Amino acid sequence: MKLAVVFVIGAIGCQDNLDAKLDLAALDRPYFDCKVQPVLTKSCGALACHGDPLRFFHLFSRNRNRLDPDPMQLNALMTTAERDHNFAAALAVIDADNTDKSEILLKPLAEAAGGWYHEGAELYKGGDVFTAKDDPDYQVLTDWIGGATEVPTCMEPGSGLP
Amino acid sequence: MRLQLAIVVALTATAHADPEGDTATVVARTSGYLDNDDTAISTSTIAVKAKPKDEIVVSARYTADAVSSASVDVITAATERWTELRSEVAGGVAWVDSSMQLSADYIYSHENDWDSHTIGLGGSRDFLNHNLTLGLGAGYVTNAVGRRDDMTFSEKLNAVSGSVRAVWPASKDDLLQVSYDIARATGYQASPYRHAFARGPAGALIAFPEQNPELRTRHAVTLRWNHHLLDDTALRSHLRAYVDDWGIASVTTGTELVYGLDDFELSGNVRVYAQRHARFYQDVYDEPRVYMTADRELSSFQDVFAGVRAAWVPLDDKLSIDLSFTGFYFRFPEFSRLPSRLGATAGLGLVWAL
C-alpha cells in the first residue's frame, strides 16, 4: 500500500523544496540581551499574555514564566537557556525578507499607528503595548531589527549579566 | 475548519431523492454542529428551484452559518472565544432537455475575514440510447483573505478546477459513475491566525507564523455505485482516491443504505477517510523551515462519520420533512494539541414541491 502511494505521488509529482530550511534574520545577540529582553519582559511576558506557554511567542522572564518549574526559582536570574529561547522566539516572528512587516513590530503596535489587531490591547482595557512608533521601547525593537549592535559587555540592569 | 465543515455539510445533505415540483421546489434546512474542540455552528439554508419554461431551471439559495469557537487553533493564537456570522448566496441557471444539460452557477460567500466569488459551468450529454452520460465541469473561485480587525492584511487565493465524469448502467440494478477532478490553487493558502512550532534551543517550543506553498494542484478519482437491492431499497457507495503536489494522498469510502416504506424513507450511512500528511508537515518542526504549518488537516489523520436519516414524504411526494443525525470521530496521531475530535450534527429539513 505504502509503495503504491509513493508511486502515485511520484507520478503526479510533488513540488520541490517543500522541506527547505528557513534563513532567520541575522540580528545582534548582545543588543537583544541588553536592550530588547527588558522590553519583552516588561511589555509582553505577563502570565496572562505571552508568559503563558500555551500561547505562541511565549517568553521566559523573572517572576513569570520560567523554564525551571520550581517555585523557589521564580525570581532567579534568567538562565542562558531562557535567554536563548527568548532570542529564538523573537527571531521567529521577524520577517527576514521584509522586516517592516514583522509580527514582533506590528502586533503590539496600536492599529491607529499602523499596527495589527492585538487581543492584548482589549484584554485589560489599557490599549495596545505601543500607541505610537516613537515610543522609546518600540524604538528599541526597530533599532534591533534595523541592525543595531551592542558590545557583549552591555548589561541589562539587574540581570546579573555578563 | 473550512474543509471539515464542507465534509459535514456534504454528509448531512445525503444523496436522497427530494421531491421535485413541476414548477418550483422550495427547500428549507437547519442544522446544528457541536464538537469537543469547543466549536458550535448553527446553519440555516433556504433554497428555491423553479422552472419558468420546460427546459429552463433557475435556482437560488441563501445559507447562514453562526459560528462560535474557542478551538485549540483559537487559543494558541492568543485569542479568546469568537463568534461570527457567515453568509452565502448562490444562483444558477440550467438548460435541460431529454439528453443534454448545460448549467452555470455563481456563489458569493462572505465572512468577517474572507470573501469568495465562485463561477461554475457544467454540461452533460447522454449517448447510446441514454446508456452512457458524459459530463464536463469547470470552475473558478477567487478569494480575498483578510484578518479580523486588521485592515493592513490582505491576500488573494484563486483556484481553477475541472472535472470529467461518465455514468452508465452496469445492469438493471446497478448504476456506476466514475469521475476525475483537478484543481489548481494559487495564492495565500495559510491561516493568518495560526502558528507552527519548532523545538527551540532550551527545549521549549518556538512559534513561527504559518507559511504554506502558494501553489497547489489536486487530483481526485471517484467511483460511485448505486445498487438496487429490493423493493424501495438501495445501496449507494463511493470510493475516492486523492493526491496533490504537497504530498498528501487520501482514500475515502462510504456507503448509504436507503429503505423506503410507504410515506417514509429511512437511511443509514457510514464513511471512512484516511490521509497521508503533506510532505512539509511536522507536529513540532526539528528546525525552522520555509514552509511550516499547524493545520491538522495537513497531517496524517483518519476519520469516520456515521449517520441516520428519516424522512416523511406525504401528499403524493409533494412534501418531505426529514430529520438527520450524524456523529463523527477524527483521529490526529500527528497533532499533539488535539489528538482526536468527537462531534455530531443534527438537521431538520423541509422540501415543498409546487
Residues β-bridged to residue B39: B35, B69
B221 pLDDT more than 50: yes
8 Å CB contact between B150 and B132: no
Phi and psi, residue B112, nearest 5°: -55, -35
| A120 touching B (Cβ < 8 Å) | yes
Q: Residue B206 sits in which domain range?
A: 110-119+130-353
Whether residue B216 is contained in a domain is answered as yes
The band of B231, judged by pLDDT with boundaries at 50, 70 and 90, is confident
In angstroms, how far apart are the furthest CA atoms of chain B? 72
Residue B143: CA count within 13 A, CB half-sphere: 19
Helices (H), A21-131: 29-31, 37-43, 80-92, 103-106, 119-123
Whether residue A37 is contained in a domain is answered as yes
| Residues of chain A positioned with their CB less than 8 A from the CB of B154 | none
Q: Which of A98-107, A151-160, B45-54, B266-275 is the least confident region? A: A151-160
B206 pLDDT more than 90: yes
Average pLDDT, chain A: 86
Q: How many domains does chain B have?
A: 1
Whether residue B236 is contained in a domain is answered as yes
Q: Measure CB to CB from residue B280 to each of A18, A58, A111 and give the nearest one.
A: A18
Whether residue B196 is contained in a domain is answered as yes
Q: Residue A128 sits in which domain range?
A: 27-145
Whether residue A21 is contained in a domain is answered as no
- Retrieve residue B167's grid coordinates: 455514468
Interface probe for A, chosen from B205, B206, B336 (most Cβ of A below 10 Å), is B206
What per-residue confidence (pLDDT) applies to B177? 98
What per-residue confidence (pLDDT) applies to B54? 87
What per-residue confidence (pLDDT) applies to B17? 55
- How many angstroms away from the CA of A18 is the closest CA of chain B? 6
What per-residue confidence (pLDDT) applies to B76? 63
> Considering just the CA atoms, what is the radius of gyration of chain B in Å?
22
B15 pLDDT more than 60: no
The band of A126, judged by pLDDT with boundaries at 50, 70 and 90, is confident
Those residues with Cβ within 8 angstroms of residue A135's Cβ, 6 or more apart along the chain or in another chain: none
Whether residue B18 is contained in a domain is answered as no
| A18 touching B (Cβ < 8 Å) | yes
Whether residue B208 is contained in a domain is answered as yes
Whether residue B5 is contained in a domain is answered as no
B4 pLDDT more than 50: no
Supply the CATH number for residue B194's domain: 2.40.170.20
Whether residue B286 is contained in a domain is answered as yes
Decide which of B73 and B232 is more confident. Answer: B232
Query: Which phi-psi region, left, alpha or beta, contains residue B102 (left: φ > 0; alpha: ψ -120 to 50)?
Result: beta
What per-residue confidence (pLDDT) applies to B6? 42
A159 pLDDT more than 80: no
What per-residue confidence (pLDDT) applies to B11? 39
What per-residue confidence (pLDDT) applies to A1? 58
Whether residue A97 is contained in a domain is answered as yes
Q: Read off the amino acid at residue B324.
A: S
Average pLDDT, chain B: 91
Mean pLDDT score, A15-40? 93
Burial class (CB in 10 A: 0-12, 13-18, 19+), B70: middle
In percent, the amount of chain B with pLDDT more than 90 equals 78
What per-residue confidence (pLDDT) applies to B21? 66
Positive or negative torsion for Cα B309, B314, B316, B317 = negative
A75-A27-B212 Cα angle (round to 5): 100
Decide which of A46 and B89 is more confident. Answer: B89
Mean pLDDT score, B253-275? 96
